[in-house]
Amino acid sequence: MKKLNHIPEFAIIGHPNEGKSSVLSTLAEDDSVRVSPIPGETVTCQNFPVMVDGREIIRFVDTPGFQNPRKTLQWMQGYQGEDEQMIASFIEAHAGDPAFRDDCELLGPVAEGAGVIFVVDGSRPVRNMDRAEMEILRLSGAPRMAVINSKGEDSAYLAQWQSEFRKHFNAIRVFNSSRATYIQRIELLENLKSIDQQWEPALRDVVEAFKTDWQARSEQSVDILLAFIGEALAYRKTVPCAKENQQAVCRQMWQEYQELIAHKEHRAHKAIRSLFKHNIFNIDLPEHSILEKDLFSKATWEFLGLTDKQIILAGAMSGAALGAGLDVAAAGISFGVFSTLGGLVGAAGTAFKGKKWLSGIKLLGMHIGGEQLRIGPVTNSQLLYILLDRSLLFYGHIINWSHGRRDYDAGKKEIAEDTKKEGVTAYWNKGERKIAERFFRVASAGNGWASSEAAQGMRGLLLRQMQQIAEGNR
Ligand SMILES: Nc1nc2c(ncn2[C@@H]2O[C@H](COP(=O)(O)OP(=O)(O)OP(=O)(O)O)[C@@H](O)[C@H]2O)c(=O)[nH]1
Ligand SMILES: [Mg+2]
């Protein structure tokens, strides 16, 4: 047996179309791996190094499926030479023979000392061909693990596969390459340690590096989120404005604020997505979810906990628009509530006696009065909760979308069906809310919040949330 004194390398081997490339894609977190429903997609070996901090820590090799396993096994059973040379001799003896092209290709890394991850589709029964493939791998003497990748929901053959595998492999895992979470990925890697004692120290280092890297990504995610949310809360702008222009300027400022928040949120989520190495999968959050709602829609405002009075105040602006003879829709001072506030608008007009409402409106920190218009800082902490909920839900979807999964449309539909209205912050206890409120006060007060104790507290809280999300507890 070869001692491992270099980067651990695993060839992902199996029959065509069983999900080898998909397993590799998930394990290596690489969504560029070619996965296809047509058997024979992978025709040459391809290395997929896993880098942590610019250092290669483990390498997976994608290989084509076995082409002629029965005859390959026959040759190996009749082989008379040294055990260690068997695979290399087989390749040498069949080089250039088109009947063994894929077999030679896929055994190449094994001849070079790679470990083997043998992938089967557990939703079908074991066939003799599989037995031949397993026997080839056993004869190769390579450290090896079997992975039952259930492409279908069917687990009827699981026991059959497991008992068959016990004869041929050092370790066996059930692993769904389309659904595997971060935790399941780590578990599989942990399990690789047991395939060979001599490989154990190197593989222990790999698992440690994976865990450290994951922790670093979570910390970076928290920093990205807090930077964005802190900015959103601290935002303030004052512009001089003659009374007769207030409607238009006010509208414009709102528009700017909404666009700014939406843009910053989008940018923050995009940064988190690329931290978790997603280039293709991109969530379109479902419409009925709080995630997809326009941040400033009426539903969101209700969610934000604005009182009826505050909503009337918002509506009152359209009352003024009406007073000035403008059509509400055309005035377009859309707080996202106007169209549904028809009745209230009139009420507001009466309740606030003409234009009195113009002094001292405070809505998410918006002040209108005198010759100045000011927007921000936000005065309603519910905005913090909604931004957190959206971001944490996004985080949950991103970290648990396995890179080997390719049915993007079906997946998005599942997300849409799964998303509840409540975000995680709805479950926060008093202590957790206190941390959030403290952060809100400091962040909305403006500069310097980033290095504050309150921000530290919030960082810790978010990290714990993310950990729980990764563990499937939120
Ligand atoms: N539902 C589901 N489909 C899967 C899973 N793994 C693979 N598939 C699908 O099975 C088909 C084959 O997957 P690949 O990963 O390309 O299989 P392969 O073994 O690399 O195939 P070749 O390269 O052709 O030998 C693709 O259509 C995948 O989307 C899985 O865990 N669940
Ligand atoms: Mg493939």
Which comes out higher in pLDDT, residue 103 or 232? 103
Tokens, residue 10: 């695993």
Query: Which of 22-26, 61-65, 228-232, 288-292 bottoms out in mean pLDDT, i.e. has the lowest?
Result: 288-292
What's the CA-to-centroid distance between 147 and ligand 2, angstroms? 15
Minimum-distance ligand 1 atom for the alpha carbon of 149: 31
Nearest CA to ligand 1 atom 13: 19
**% the chain with pLDDT above 70:** 75
Mean of per-residue pLDDT scores for the chain: 80
Which comes out higher in pLDDT, residue 263 or 23? 23
How far is the C-alpha of 210 from the C-alpha of 433, rounded, in Å?
32
| Residue pair 307/284 in contact by the 8 Å Cβ criterion | no
Question: What local confidence, expressed as pLDDT, does residue 114 receive?
Answer: 96
Residue whose C-alpha is closest to residue 129's, from 63, 74, 195, 62: 74
Q: Does residue 224 register a pLDDT over 50? A: yes
Which comes out higher in pLDDT, residue 311 or 252? 252
Nearest CA to ligand 1 atom 5: 151
Nearest CA to ligand 1 atom 2: 151
**% the chain with pLDDT above 90:** 57
What's the CA-to-centroid distance between 155 and ligand 2, angstroms? 23
Question: What local confidence, expressed as pLDDT, does residue 326 receive?
Answer: 29
Question: What local confidence, expressed as pLDDT, does residue 445 receive?
Answer: 86
Per-residue confidence band for 77, with pLDDT thresholds at 50, 70 and 90 = very high
| Topology given in CATH for the domain delimited by 9-195 | Rossmann fold (3.40.50)
How far is the C-alpha of 95 from the C-alpha of 104, rounded, in Å?
7
Q: Does residue 291 register a pLDDT over 70? A: no
Probe ligand 1: pick from 15, 17, 23, 133, max atoms within 8 Å of CB? 17
| Predicted model pTM | 0.83
Per-residue confidence band for 434, with pLDDT thresholds at 50, 70 and 90 = very high
Minimum-distance ligand 1 atom for the alpha carbon of 24: 15
Question: What local confidence, expressed as pLDDT, does residue 218 receive?
Answer: 96
Question: What local confidence, expressed as pLDDT, does residue 379 receive?
Answer: 67
Q: Does residue 390 register a pLDDT over 60? A: yes
Instruction: Work out the average pLDDT over 58-72.
Output: 97
Rg (CA), the chain: 30
Beta bridge partners of 369: 372
Nearest CA to ligand 1 atom 21: 17
Tell me the ligand closest to 184's alpha carbon: 1
Nearest CA to ligand 1 atom 6: 19
The SS3 of residue 11 is strand
Instruction: Work out the average pLDDT over 215-224.
Output: 97
Residue extents of the structural domains in the chain:
9-195, 212-306+363-470
Question: What local confidence, expressed as pLDDT, does residue 424 receive?
Answer: 85
How far is the C-alpha of 12 from the C-alpha of 149, rounded, in Å?
12
What's the CA-to-centroid distance between 90 and ligand 2, angstroms? 23
How far is the C-alpha of 379 from the C-alpha of 457, rounded, in Å?
20
> Could you read off the pLDDT of 169-213 as tens digits, one per residue?
989 999 999 999 999 999 999 999 989 998 999 999 999 999 999
**Proportion of the chain in helix, strand, coil states, percent, rounded to 5:** 55, 10, 35
Cα 466 to the chain's mean position, in Å?
A: 12
Question: What local confidence, expressed as pLDDT, does residue 341 receive?
Answer: 27
For 10, the enclosing helix (H) or strand (E) is strand 9-14
What's the CA-to-centroid distance between 23 and ligand 1, angstroms? 8
Question: What local confidence, expressed as pLDDT, does residue 361 receive?
Answer: 40
What's the CA-to-centroid distance between 365 and ligand 2, angstroms? 56
Question: What local confidence, expressed as pLDDT, does residue 351 receive?
Answer: 33
Question: What local confidence, expressed as pLDDT, does residue 421 receive?
Answer: 58
Question: What local confidence, expressed as pLDDT, does residue 129 receive?
Answer: 96
Query: Which of 272-286, 358-372, 454-468 bottoms out in mean pLDDT, i.e. has the lowest?
Result: 358-372
> Could you read off the pLDDT of 296-343 as tens digits, one per residue?
444 444 433 444 444 444 444 443 333 332 233 323 333 322 222 223
Per-residue confidence band for 17, with pLDDT thresholds at 50, 70 and 90 = very high
Probe ligand 1: pick from 27, 33, 34, 36, max atoms within 8 Å of CB? 36
Minimum-distance ligand 1 atom for the alpha carbon of 405: 29
Preceding amide of 377 cis, omega within 30: yes
Tell me the ligand closest to 24's alpha carbon: 1
What's the CA-to-centroid distance between 164 and ligand 1, angstroms? 22
What's the CA-to-centroid distance between 39 and ligand 1, angstroms? 9
What's the CA-to-centroid distance between 214 and ligand 2, angstroms? 27
What's the CA-to-centroid distance between 73 and ligand 2, angstroms? 22
For 116, the enclosing helix (H) or strand (E) is strand 115-120
Q: Does residue 397 register a pLDDT over 50? A: yes
Query: Which of 101-105, 211-215, 242-246, 398-402 bottoms out in mean pLDDT, i.e. has the lowest?
Result: 242-246
Residues framing ligand 1 (Cβ under 6 A): 14, 16-22, 35-37, 39-42, 64-65, 149, 151, 176-178, 406
Which comes out higher in pLDDT, residue 472 or 49? 49
Question: What local confidence, expressed as pLDDT, does residue 420 receive?
Answer: 59
